[in-house]
Structure 1
Amino acid sequence: MSGKTVSLCLIVKNERERLLNCINSARQIVNEVVVVDTGSTDDTVGIARAAGARVFSYAWQGNFSDARNYALEQATGQWILVLDADEVLAPLDVNYFNKLLAADQVEGYFVSIQSYQGDGGEIMTDNVVRLFKNNPLYRFSGAIHEQVAPSILKETAGKGLRACSLLINHFGYLDIEIKKKEKFKRNTFIIIKELEKSPADPFLLYSLALEYFQRGLIAEGVKCLEKALPQMNGSEGYYQDVIVATANGLLNLGQLDPLFRFLEEFLKVFPNHQQLLICRGLGQLQAQQYAQATEDLVRSLGEDEGKFLPRHQHLCLVGDVLMSLGHVDKAVELYLASLKHESGYIYPLIKIVDLLGCAYPLIDEKLSRVMSVNRLDRLWRQLLKEQKPSYAIVIIFLEIGLLLKKPDPEFMPSQLVLELYQFVHFEPFLKRASFNYLCVSVRQLYYYSLMLEKGYADFPINDRVSKLMKELMILFVKDYCPRAAAKGLNVLGWSALGGAGAEKESIDR
């Protein structure tokens, strides 16, 4: 624990399922936990007390900042860490955390919030001030999507905040959570009530637009954004977010002419803006302007992680575009780059198998450049969980091939072949004419792998295994792996990864 004391502050209501995970994620770095309950009817309060928290009751007034600030008033630590019950602080280096607290010239830190959306497959990352010194002048503002950064910047003449590498995983925007807590109804009520007092407030209009977007009410959201933009001068911390959200809305509505006019105006101001280039590229695809679309989407890649689209997904997006235009080799390279960047992401692996599966030596060579045995092992097990046994078996073949080239004491080829033999008996495979040959070949592969493990070097096993692996791979991909037809992109699906679904609490007013 650092020489500086830290208070974890939360406001909660009916969070019995998530609260303990949240508290435990930060326990090693905080000296006290302050929980402000705003009216729970479950056993949230009892769970908080059992976890050692200091619990306070607060009558909900329809204003998140008021509740947050009440929590800050109860904190005794020198620093404040703010989390929500549906958030978990990612594992961190305690020594690094202590160094953050020891920096005398810093009053607060932007931390990364990784927000899981939809069914959990979409992730948005943004930066929000959640770690700051306990100073009575530092208080949250805004009835909803409240922020503490403005008050810190005001008191320090804009010099008190720094970025850090702390990461918070946020699960509150999963579909199941939004439905369970009726967040749309609650949030829109608060925002509309505030808009009655300040009907031209661009931040409130933007907040309402995001609520509409998450509900699928895209046209209503765009109307709010079109009211917000004329009220802004460009210095607002969420100015670019409003522009991106507007572009995404127009794209989703298929209003291509208004989209192109809008983007022409703002790309003059932000000529290399990743998400604006993506929006224009996707719009050009819809308009069948393929050359322009390719130029914009390739240009949008850049070198750094984007704010609105994780790089591994961004690489796949451009890969899909290139593939749909017939540039298979370039597409494969981007899928490989995506795997190298995020080895647990299944989508590019499936695309590579679909494109190169019958060319076993080629796929083996390309994947071995970016994948280790350990990563391949994790991936095929993940594919099995996601009920993709055909692709799982292909990855097992690749793992066995890599093991034969680079032995690893933690993984025995014979054991993998035994698992493979079990998997080829799955229902989808039993009905194929080549099933019996497949079983015989896998048994043969098992005996060969045993001989290799026992060191029978005088027998030409490597050549036999390589030939058999090639035959099995070609047979399996040809007969058992459905090819993904390259019939163009689901443009709306890709655009939803951008600003329209962005993390709401990421806005600095």
Structure 2
Amino acid sequence: MIRLSLCMIVKNEEAVLTRVLASAIQFADEILVADTGSTDRTVEIARQYTKHIYHYPWNDDFAAARNFICEKVTTEYWMWLDADDVVPAESITAILKLKETLSKSPQPDVVMMKYIAGFQPDGTPAFTYDRERILRTDRHFRWKGRVHEAIAPRGRILYSPIQIEHRKPASALTHSDRNLKIYETMLADGELLDPRHQYYYARELIDHKQYEKARPVLEHFLNEPDGWYENKADACLLLARCHEMLRNTAASQLSLFQSFLYDRPRAKTCCEIGRLKLSLGEISQAVFWYQLALKDRPEYHPNAFIEADYYDFIPLIQLCVCYDRMGNYDKALYYHKETKKIRPDSPAVLTNEEYFQTISSNHKTNGLPIL
């Protein structure tokens, strides 16, 4: 069985740190923590689980902080977690089994794991993607990026079904301007953003509703010869959103179709086209795109950002709206029943249920709302 280190950077994490460390101590042979300036009980809590606590002066550089602690690893492999991550019980068991298999040849250099970064009200995953999670120490992997830092996987890569959950405390759910300020400082210092960070800078701008400023950043990113195709496909959707918020519907449609340069039509893109067509009153076209979304499957997209609702719930409930607009109440009711199977307690489903209870064949109401 291989030995595994856990590497973490923390700051003022007393609300969540016990949760993650109590799980990690069950599979990690050593826990290495870099504290970047906590003023609460973070260090005190960490000391209950490890003696390897280091103080790192924060300098607005996440990659530098992570590399600082990773360089102290003495085991064959190391793993990273954020303080607000959760390792479910079944994942703890799976990681322990994985440690046994990692000692067998050929040994992987990188183990990718599923990262569940968003959840539905009923607790089911809403946003999932693969993330580099366990790395072989003698391959000298290092983080890059002052913000939205990452490690580029290389060598032998193992895709594991093991899941790590990212569960922020309620107090951290609003968008902070920390990352945006780091990017703006980088630009003010004359630092050129590589393609990946152009993409993430644009996302930060959009999160802060700076659509006019985000638009040229996305356009520049899409014209770059480099850049991960997943980011480029998503950038088309982000650019479409910017155009829509700036009231340029034609440009929004063109940006959505531009995403087909990077892959076949995906569920989310189809739903976005359908939503735009429905808002323009082009209902039959909206139906086409929502039905196409239902034919897609998330398993087709390794490494993709998977937002589960776009594969079933959203196209189904929007098809209910479309057929209601077309006066075909039988089909509208059919799609409503399909959405009830997926999320019966959704406020939108409950509203539609009330609607269908009051409708009759000779009485038309004002119709269902568009999501």
1:194 aligns with 2:186: yes
Partner of 2:54: 56
Whichever residue aligns with residue 250 of structure 2, its letter is D
Whichever residue aligns with residue 191 of structure 1, its letter is Y
Partner of 1:315: 312
- 1:201-257 CA distances to partner (integer Å, 9 max, x unpaired)? 332222121112222333332332123222244655522232232233334444210
Whichever residue aligns with residue 99 of structure 2, its letter is N
Partner of 1:488: 369
The 5 Å alignment of 1:281-300 reads 281-300=274-293
| Distance in 1, Cα, partners of 2:122 & 2:247 | 26
- 1:104-155 CA distances to partner (integer Å, 9 max, x unpaired)? 341112212112389999932221101122235211111111111x2x41xx
CA contact (8 A) 2:113 2:161 kept: yes
- 1:416-466 CA distances to partner (integer Å, 9 max, x unpaired)? xxxxxxxxxxxxxxxxxxxxxxxxxxxxxxxxxxxxxxxxxxxxxxxxxxx
CA contact (8 A) 2:267 2:311 kept: no
1:127 aligns with 2:130: yes
Whichever residue aligns with residue 161 of structure 1, its letter is I
- 1:64-89 CA distances to partner (integer Å, 9 max, x unpaired)? 11111111112222221111111112
1:239 aligns with 2:232: yes
Whichever residue aligns with residue 266 of structure 2, its letter is H
Partner of 2:150: 147
Q: 1:110 aligns with which of 109, 112, 119?
A: 112
Higher RCO (CA-CA < 8 Å; seq separation 6+)? 1
| Distance in 2, Cα, partners of 1:209 & 1:125 | 21
The 5 Å alignment of 1:311-350 reads 311-312=308-309, 314-324=311-321, 325-326=323-324, 327-331=328-332, 333-334=334-335, 346-347=346-347, 350=350
CA contact (8 A) 1:275 1:300 kept: yes
Partner of 2:211: 218
Partner of 1:383: none
Matched residues, number: 352
| Distance in 2, Cα, partners of 1:119 & 1:176 | 17
1:44 aligns with 2:42: yes
Secondary structure in 2 matching 1:135: helix
CA contact (8 A) 1:64 1:144 kept: yes
Secondary structure in 1 matching 2:108: coil
The 5 Å alignment of 1:61-140 reads 61-91=59-89, 92=91, 93-94=93-94, 96-98=97-99, 101-102=102-103, 104-116=106-118, 123-135=126-138, 137-140=140-143
> Per-residue deviation at 1:273?
2.5
- TM-score by length of structure 2 reads 0.82
Structure 2 CA distance for partners of 1:162 and 1:333, relative to 1, 3 Å: farther
1:259 aligns with 2:252: yes
The 5 Å alignment of 1:463-502 reads 486-490=367-371
> Per-residue deviation at 1:97?
2.9
CA contact (8 A) 1:111 1:127 kept: yes
Structure 2 CA distance for partners of 1:18 and 1:57, relative to 1, 3 Å: same
Partner of 2:362: none
The 5 Å alignment of 1:322-401 reads 322-324=319-321, 325-326=323-324, 327-331=328-332, 333-334=334-335, 346-347=346-347, 350=350, 353-354=353-354
Secondary structure in 2 matching 1:231: coil
Contiguous gaps of at least 5 residues in structure 2: 360-364
Percent of residue pairs bearing the same amino acid type: 22
> Per-residue deviation at 1:320?
2.3
| Distance in 1, Cα, partners of 2:100 & 2:358 | 53
Contiguous gaps of at least 5 residues in structure 1: 360-483, 491-509
Q: 2:269 aligns with which of 258, 268, 276?
A: 276
Q: Which moved more, 1:73-82 or 1:268-277?
A: 268-277
CA contact (8 A) 1:115 1:125 kept: yes
Secondary structure in 2 matching 1:247: helix
Structure 2 CA distance for partners of 1:272 and 1:203, relative to 1, 3 Å: same
Q: Which moved more, 1:298-307 or 1:92-101?
A: 92-101
Whichever residue aligns with residue 26 of structure 1, its letter is A
1:164 aligns with 2:157: no
Structure 2 CA distance for partners of 1:80 and 1:357, relative to 1, 3 Å: farther
> Per-residue deviation at 1:350?
2.8
> Per-residue deviation at 1:313?
5.5
- TM-score by length of structure 1 reads 0.62
Q: Which has the larger radius of gyration?
A: 1
